[in-house]
């Protein structure tokens, strides 16, 4: 039996207080939250935290020995710079365990005004090599980087082997075909960039219609998809819509399926990752509870016996039930030619 000595953190999403409690109660080592404004990349109505709710959540998590990370991972705009700096000020007041940032200017503000505040480089920072990571370490003393979901396992290993800071990778949840932080696709339809407004498809731009051809979803008037009577209808984003290409209608950019790394947990762990992250602050507390519970069990099992680990069929089925399209993929991790 070969056990892993260093414990790998399970970092889970919390879009609300009930979701935070669900993650902590089901075994998350850390949760990540956002404020109720454009400073975070899941700026949906009804989600996220006020200052007071964040304090309540932090107190709850800390009593149970879990960490709270604050996502301030959008890019400030000149007219609203104070909104983002106030969020840094509030993060320091709250005593969060780390702030997840993407913008260098905001990192500069945080590192100069609150040098004791632990900084993580967000996936929105798009750092995929040692030089980029080293820049943020040297200039802002970041302690961890979250890698974009576009790297193969070989590339992830290369980054970890050369990174001056801890490395966090995504383990479950929605995928993104773009290098996070560099996507402007939805802004062509909505006029609002997800990198500054905090959401790919603003709720105000989403419209559902029941038509003779079936249920249709539109984004700012643009038809994104049409669903049959028995088809699951996902939240409409431009990259996951179905389009007509040369008389064929299909998912031209990205299929709605979820990343699930249970089959490759031993490979990921052997590389030396510091944390495995779950996407989904927009998800329900019940979703967060089940995903956290399954991943906690799987990670503990893998860490206890790397060589004999095998993903349980019930774990896979349980996560597939919660996945987009009720199916899973290894995404960019699986590139055997690299």
Q: What are the φ and ψ backbone dihedral angles of 315, each rounded to 5 degrees?
A: -65, -45
Residue 274's pLDDT is: 96
Neighbours of 192 (CB within 10 A): 20
Mean pLDDT of 288-299: 96
Transcribe 227-249 into DSSP letters.
E-TT---PPP-GGG--EEETTEE
Mean pLDDT of 161-178: 87
Mean pLDDT of 277-291: 94
Q: What are the φ and ψ backbone dihedral angles of 168, each rounded to 5 degrees?
A: -115, 135
Confidence band for 62, pLDDT divided at 50, 70 and 90: very high
Residue 112's pLDDT is: 97
Domains detected in the chain: 9-175+257-333 (3.20.20.70), 190-250 (no CATH)
Residue 335's pLDDT is: 62
The residues, any chain, with a CB within 8 Å of residue 188's CB and separated by 6 or more, are 238
Please tell me which residue, 270 or 243, carries the higher pLDDT value.
270
Mean pLDDT of 84-101: 98
The answer to whether 225 and 233 are in contact (CB under 8 A) is yes
Question: What one-character DSSP code corresponds to residue 140?
Answer: H
Residue 1's pLDDT is: 45
Mean pLDDT of 215-232: 83
Residue 328's pLDDT is: 62
Determine the Cα–Cα distance for residues 216 and 208; give it in Å rounded to an integer: 6
Determine the Cα–Cα distance for residues 246 and 244; give it in Å rounded to an integer: 6
Mean pLDDT of 313-317: 89
pLDDT tens, 189-209? 887 777 766 677 778 888 888
The residues, any chain, with a CB within 8 Å of residue 232's CB and separated by 6 or more, are 325, 326
Mean pLDDT of 270-292: 94
CA distances from 272 to 116, 158, 165, 275, 290 (A): 26, 11, 11, 9, 26
Determine the Cα–Cα distance for residues 105 and 124; give it in Å rounded to an integer: 14
Confidence band for 269, pLDDT divided at 50, 70 and 90: very high
Q: What is the residue-averaged pLDDT of the chain? A: 88
Mean pLDDT of 158-178: 88
Mean pLDDT of 304-318: 89
> Token pair of 75, please?
């890019």
Mean pLDDT of 12-18: 97
Residue 258's pLDDT is: 76
pLDDT tens, 78-92? 889 999 999 999 999
Residue 244's pLDDT is: 81
């Amino acid at each position: 039996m070969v056990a892993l000595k260093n414990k790998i953190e399970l970092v889970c999403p919390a879009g609300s207080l009930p979701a935070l409690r669900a993650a902590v109660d089901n075994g998350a080592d850390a949760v990540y939250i956002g404020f109720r404004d454009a400073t975070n990349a899941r700026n949906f109505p009804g989600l996220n935290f006020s200052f007071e709710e964040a304090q309540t959540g932090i107190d709850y998590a800390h009593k149970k020995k879990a960490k709270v990370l604050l996502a301030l991972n959008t890019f400030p705009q000149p007219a609203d710079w104070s909104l983002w700096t106030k969020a840094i000020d509030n993060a320091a007041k709250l005593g969060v365990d780390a702030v997840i940032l993407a913008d260098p200017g905001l990192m500069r503000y945080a590192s100069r005004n609150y040098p004791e505040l632990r900084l993580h480089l967000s996936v929105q920072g798009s750092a995929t090599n040692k030089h980029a990571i080293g820049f943020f370490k040297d200039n802002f003393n970041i302690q961890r980087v979250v890698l974009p979901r576009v790297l193969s396992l070989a590339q992830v290993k290369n980054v970890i082997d050369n990174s001056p800071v801890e490395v966090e990778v995504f383990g479950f949840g929605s995928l993104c075909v773009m290098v996070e932080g560099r996507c402007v696709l939805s802004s062509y339809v909505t006029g609002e960039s997800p990198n500054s407004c905090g959401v790919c498809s603003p709720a105000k731009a989403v419209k559902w219609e029941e038509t003779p051809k079936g249920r249709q979803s539109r984004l700012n008037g643009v038809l994104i998809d049409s669903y049959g009577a028995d088809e699951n209808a996902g939240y409409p984003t431009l990259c996951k819509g179905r389009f007509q290409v040369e008389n064929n209608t299909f998912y031209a950019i990205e299929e709605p399926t979820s990343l699930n790394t249970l089959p490759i947990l031993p490979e990921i762990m052997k590389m030396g990752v510091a944390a495995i992250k779950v996407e989904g602050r927009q998800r329900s507390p019940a979703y967060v509870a089940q995903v956290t519970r399954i991943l906690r069990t799987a990670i503990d099992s893998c860490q206890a016996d790397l060589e004999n680990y095998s993903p349980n069929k019930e774990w896979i089925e349980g996560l597939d039930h919660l996945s987009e399209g009720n199916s899973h993929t290894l995404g960019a991790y699986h590139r055997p030619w690299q």
